[in-house]
Amino acid sequence: MAYMTDRKRAEGMGSAKSGTEHHWHMMVSSVALAILVPLFIFTFGRILGAPYEEVVAYFGRPFPAIVAALTVVVSFLHFKNGVQVLIEDYVHGTMRKVLIIAMICLSYAAAGTGLFAIARLAF
C-alpha cells in the first residue's frame, strides 16, 4: 500500500493554463449571441411563413443574410466550446478524445451546412 501526500497525488495534475482564455471566449460569444439572437428572431420572424420566392428575395439583401450567417457561426462555436468543457469534465480515457473529435466535427459540419444554406438563399 502506497502512502502518498496530497501534494504527491496532485503532482502532474496541474492547470492546463487555458481556462482563462476559454472562459473569455465563452463570455465574448455569449455577449455576441445576446445581441445576435434577438436580431435573428426579428429578421427571420418577419419572413417566416412567406412563399419561397419572397424568402429568397429577402435573404438576397445583405443585412438579413449577414445576421443569419453570424448567428449560425457564433452559435455553433459557442456550442462546440461548451460541449467540449462538458465532455472534459465528465468523460475520461479514450472515449473523451473520441467524443471531443466527434463533437468538433459535428459542430463544424452543422455550421458549414447552415452557411451553405444561407449562401444558396442569398445568391
Domain boundaries, the chain: 22-122
12: confidence class by pLDDT, cuts 50, 70, 90: low
What CA–CA distance (Å, rounded) separates 123 from 121?
A: 6
Report pLDDT digits (tens) over 21-64.
889 999 999 999 999 999 999 999 999 999 999 999 999 999 99
Instruction: Please name the CATH architecture into which domain 22-122 falls.
Output: Up-down Bundle (1.20)
Helix (H, G, I), strand (E, B) or coil at 60: coil
Report pLDDT for 47. 93
Sequence-distant (6+) residues with CB within 8 A of 87 are 96, 99, 100, 103
How many CA atoms lie less than 13 Å away from 83 in the CB half-sphere?
16
For residue 72, give the nearest of 21, 33, 17, 104 by alpha carbon.
33
CA distances from 65 to 36, 39, 60 (A): 12, 11, 7
Reported as a pLDDT band with limits 50, 70 and 90, residue 77 is very high
* SS3 label, residue 91: coil
